[in-house]
Structure 1
Amino acid sequence: MSYKESSDYSLNRLKDSRSIPLQVLVTSAEWRWVMMWTVLIVAVSALPLLIAWAMTPPGWNFTGILVNPLDGHSYLAKMEQGATGHWLFHLTYTPEPHAGAFLFTFYVGLGHVARLTGLPLVVVFHLARLLAGVGLLLTVYRFIAHITMSIVERRLAFLLIGTASGLGWLGLIFGAFPIDFWVPEAFVHYSLHANPHFPLGLMLMLLVLMQVVWPYTQALLLSRIVMPTLLAILLAIVLPFAVVIVWLLLAALIGRTVLIHKGRLLWSHIWPTLGVVGGSLPVVGYQYWVTITNPILAGWNAQNVTSTPPVMNVILGFGIIGGLALIKIVHIIRQKGRETSEGEWLLCLWVIISIGLLYVPFTLQRRFITGLHIPLAILAAIGLRRWLTQSKRSTLFQQRIVLSVVVVGLLETLLVWGLPILFIKQQTIDSLTTSVLFIQDDEAAAFQWLRDNTKPDDVVLASPRIGMWVPGQTGARAFYGHPFETVAAEDKKAQVEAFYRGDQPSTSPASDYIFYGVSEQAIGRPQYLQELPVVFSSGNVTIYKNQH
């Protein structure tokens, strides 16, 4: 089907509809195409995980986390708390006792799912990730359908969102570290590869926008307020920074409407917007309040700094997609909005607001890059397709240009997805003491002993590598295991290293158990361990009971 034929087909089908707004109709043929690509994208994103599991060398165990193991295992630690029946979150990467709070409720809830189903935490984690990925991709296409009536533009935008990364490889050549290698929340395809809460949050974000901006005309006003409000509350629980973007975006759309219509208020948008803000603001407010009033959580929050990356890393990270989107935005501004749909304005405002938030003086400013690839990719697809159509070049030429853009982005995505696989050998045989993807059989046996013989409040002293796994694998606390979630992390890390070097006989606060394996032996061989009772020993791993 040619570009023109596809556009005519889309428009004719839309004209045939009497009950659905023109820009909303998605044909059954479209949904079949979308479902095919959705299954393919999600399946390919899961392949590196299966390959890593299949390539696990003898004597080793794959931990099930490929993307950002440090944060991935902290999610499993949060799920572990739910699996033991709790709903209040505690920092299990720090030894200090403290009151719990309703934070990370999504992961705590997944832990309850694991408890009820009997499935391992990591299995529930990945099942949730895959389901959220499917839901996100289907929601993405519905969102695109509100922006453009052209099937060609819809499909191109969907493929760019689902598969296209930036020019990160180019940045690596020149010593940069572009965001398409390490900021998954900015991209749909990277989000659904990384964890479940990013794709779920992005899906909720799009659903809220659609419910407010393009409500079903037959729905009662009350339901048009209640539904986006409930979705916004869920969004605030799952991905609170995304709900802030939604607030500002909906406010900007209302402001634009007031300016265009010379002061006339569009209450059909205002009431749902008030519901969205009113419903989710208490959730965000509570999260902020508890992280500044709970002393231990405040210590975590003070370390939790995620600054915006250098501008060049952002530009290269979005690559060709970002460049095409910028051209489209400039074109819209030069045209003063003529022939620009409400959806295209929404995309432009989304880009402008997100970029503005990235440079607000705030310790977590990078979080506002969440989902930015979505509006950029849709604008890029619309701008590219319409420019090609107006160029009057041959259909073959147009198809080659489009294919080139898609393939360049896809190759980078496959590189990002597959990069951990390249380091599997280094993660095991060549790096006995530093592997973060695999644990040795003796370490796995030690973790099982700790799970069977320790209480949730017991503290385990271990190297930073082992400490990363302790809360999620054993249910106990780690003295040190995370640079953010361990309070006073630098001090505790220094204490760990000093203890294993033999420079100090204890830590403050003291630990209940001392883990001593190959990672700890690489730091040092403290003589005073010989004075402590051995409670577990297997191969090169020994666990000592500390005498307080």
Structure 2
Amino acid sequence: MVFVRKYFLWFLIGFFILLIPLLIQIYNTPTGYVPSGFISGGFDYATFIAKMKWGAAGHWTYINRYTTECTEPAPIYGFYLLLGHISKWTGLSVIWVYHLARSLIGALCLISLWGFLKTNTKSKTWLAFLLVITCMAGYWEYFDSVLNTKVAKMDLFLQAKVGTAFLTYPHYLVDLLAFLSIFHAYLADIPARRRICLSAIAGFLFSAVHVFLMAIILIPLIHGLLNKRTKEALQVVIPSMIAALPLTIIQYLAFTHIEWLRVWRDATATQFVSPLILLLAIHGVTGLLAWYKIVSEIKKLSFWSIWVLTASVMAYAMPLANRTEYIFFLAIPLGILASEVVEKIIGWLEERKNPTLTVIGVTLLLLLTSGYSILWMIPIFKADKTVTGKYPNYLPMEYVDTLANLDNEQAIVLCDTYTGNFMPAWTIKLKPYCAHPMETLNYEEKRKKVDAFYKGELPQLPEQIGAKYIIYEDFLAENDYGKLHDILGEPFIKGKHIAVWKRR
């Protein structure tokens, strides 16, 4: 009841704010188009909708819908399969369920993050909250062209950020709840029973989404050993491990016995990135202030400094293909550490007893740490009427209807990568030959062949791969219709935005 009285109104406000981008997108839908539901997150958005589509079709295990190779069902992506079933049970579209889940879980994360910071940090809650949410590369991106830092590209490493999680993927928000639960359980002065329950919940959530993140239990263990809190650390570590064990065993057996999962896992390996870029630059001014704080307290490290240092070591030392993902939500400790520095600077300004200096100084601090990130988020809420390019907000109704009409039998489809990326999100039986860099098996080889075909250099490709349909569209990619017409003749379907050839 205390929670309901104190936070329910803020929960509702957060929910509606997070839902606004979709509502605006729907409201602004141009005539002849349908909303894609894409708000932010790049190429991966459609893949999660595709997994929900598969769940809505009644499946609890996932086959790789982004490759033409035969793949056996695997117990992965249970979260999105569950959302798909919810779509089926409620009658709501998968896009609506996706964004409702993002907004509901996101609102819970917002109030949980506020409560977490209020209970477990020394800084002013509003300041720590702001810096945690807005911790991004920011202005460093402007130096890319001069210094060739590739910061702009790495700023898309969404896993490290908190603010982007609210506007991209709902499963990241499940991870965020797990982080907040397990670290609150360790840090807060709460009864042992509650600590154990929170830790068990966190362990289960990690195992359901990103089981490898269970390695973060090293952080309370290290802090506990250094600060004589071993008992509290074990009350967190043991329950979380027990709760994570069932799903962890299932996934371990799947990844060791299902061949395509091993190939897929290797394809998701993240490239080596300079520590100066990954651990410092992509967090902008906030990151710099945080690292200054870490150095200043090196003789007596706080929990937040231990978190940053432990995650940084794991990002380069763990024997995993995607080990850089151990900086997941590094924005939390960095934002907290930076807030302590900013608060001291504000205090110093106030001691000067010069209101003008204080206002100018505080404004500059907030602009440097948070201004760019806020400017980055504004266009997402504007829902621009993007109907072309890699990530359109809208798709032509003709395009969607054509895919639906073709989706009446199992068939391999030769199409551009962008159409291939959207296809499994809108159909069930069609399989694109080349669709997604991480999900399509042997993607690079297939991409070269597809590019050659659309240039008229590999006309035999449809026969080689057994494609039933060949698709041309004029809004996602810039292919030459004339060359395809010369190779394939008159299309089976010819519309304003899409043409389809059918092989016998």
TM superposition score normalised by structure 1: 0.79
Instruction: Give per-residue Cα distances to partners, 1:412-470, cap 9 Å, x unaligned.
Output: 12332245799957x54xx5x7664432232122122134x235xx3322111111111
Q: Separation in 1 of the partners of 2:471 and 2:184?
A: 52
Q: Equivalent residue of 2:183, what SS? A: helix
Q: Which of residues 175, 190, 193 in structure 1 aligns to 2:167?
A: 193
1:450-499 CA-to-partner distances (Å, cap 9, x unmatched) read: 34x235xx332211111111101112322211111111112222333344
| Alignment CA distance shift 1:230-1:122 (3 Å) | same
Q: 1:422 to 1:279 in 2, by over 3 A?
A: closer
- Which residue is 1:373 aligned to? 331
Aligned residue number for residue 354 of structure 1: 311
- List alignment gaps of at least 5 residues for structure 1: 1-24, 338-343
Q: How many angstroms apart in 2 are the aligned matches of 1:400 and 1:434? A: 41
- Aligned in 2, Cα 1:507/1:145: closer, same or farther, shift over 3 Å? farther
Whole-angstrom distance in 2 between the partners of 1:302 and 1:406: 41
1:286 offset after TM fit, Å? 4.1
- Find the aligned partners of 1:303 and 1:157 in 2 and give their Cα distance: 37
2:78 is aligned, of 89, 97, 105, to 105
Gaps of 5+ in 2: none
Match of 1:228 among 171, 190, 199: 199
Q: How does 1:55-70 map to 2 (within 5 A)?
A: 56-70=29-43
- Provide the identity percentage: 24
| Closer, same or farther: CA 254–289 of 1 in aligned 2, 3 Å | farther
Q: Matches of 1:390 and 1:35 in 2, distance apart? A: 36
Alignment of 1:307 with 2:271, yes or no, is yes
The residue type paired with residue 164 of structure 2 is Y
Check 1:419–1:159 CA distance in 2 against 1; reply closer, same or farther (3 A cut). same
Q: Secondary structure at the match of 2:395?
A: strand
| Residue 441 (structure 1) aligned to one of 378, 381, 397 | 397
Equivalent position of 1:5 in the other structure: none
Q: Is 2:296 the partner of 1:331?
A: yes
Deviation at 1:52, TM superposition (A): 4.9
Deviation per residue, 1:390-417 (Å, 9 max, x gap): 6733384556534432233333123322
Q: Deviations over 1:143-168 (max 9, x none)?
A: 21232366xx2221012223453434
Q: CA deviation at 1:323?
A: 1.8
Q: CA offsets, 1:185-221, max 9 Å, x none?
A: 212111111121112211211111212343622x54x
CA contact (8 A) 1:205 1:242 kept: no
1:302 maps to amino acid: D
Q: 1:479 to 1:505 in 2, by over 3 A?
A: closer
| Partner Cα distance (2:369, 2:97) in 1 | 30
CA shift for structure 1 position 83: 0.6
Alignment partner of 1:252 is 2:222: yes
Q: Does 2:236 correspond to 1:275?
A: no
Alignment of 1:480 onto 2:434? yes
2-structure distance, mates of 1:228, 1:148:
20
* Paired position in structure 1 for 2:343: 385
Distance in 2 (CA, whole Å) between partners of 1:80 and 1:189 is 27
The match for 1:131 is 104
Cα distance in 1, alignment partners of residues 207 and 368 from structure 2: 35
- The higher radius of gyration belongs to 1
SS for the counterpart of 2:459 is: coil
Give 1:525's aligned residue: 484
SS across alignment from 1:506: helix
- Residue 75 of structure 1 deviates from its aligned partner by 0.6
1:380 is displaced (CA, Å) by 1.2
Cα separation, partners in 2 of 1:281 and 1:256, compared to 1, 3 Å: farther
Partner residue, 1:7: none
Q: CA RMSD in A?
A: 3.4
Cα distance in 1 for residues equivalent to 2:468 and 2:91:
29
Q: Describe how 1:161-200 pairs up with structure 2 within 5 A.
A: 161-168=132-139, 169-172=141-144, 174=146, 175-178=148-151, 181-200=155-174
User: Who is 1:465 aligned against?
Assistant: 418
* Structure 1 position 358, deviation (Å): 2.1
1:511 corresponding residue in structure 2:
467
Matched residue type, 2:366: V
TM-aligned CA deviation for residue 94 of structure 1: 0.6
- 8 A contact 1:59–1:440 mirrored in 2: yes
Q: Which AA in structure 1 matches 2:218?
A: L
Alpha-carbon deviation of 1:527? 4.8
How far apart, CA to CA, are the structure 1 residues paired with 2:137 and 2:366?
11
Distance 1:435 1:280, change over 3 A: closer
The Cα of 1:317 is off from its aligned counterpart by: 2.2
CA deviations on 1:291-324 (whole Å, 9 max, x unpaired) are 3431222221221122354445433321221122
Residue range with higher mean Cα deviation, 306-315 or 468-477: 306-315
TM-score by length of 2: 0.85
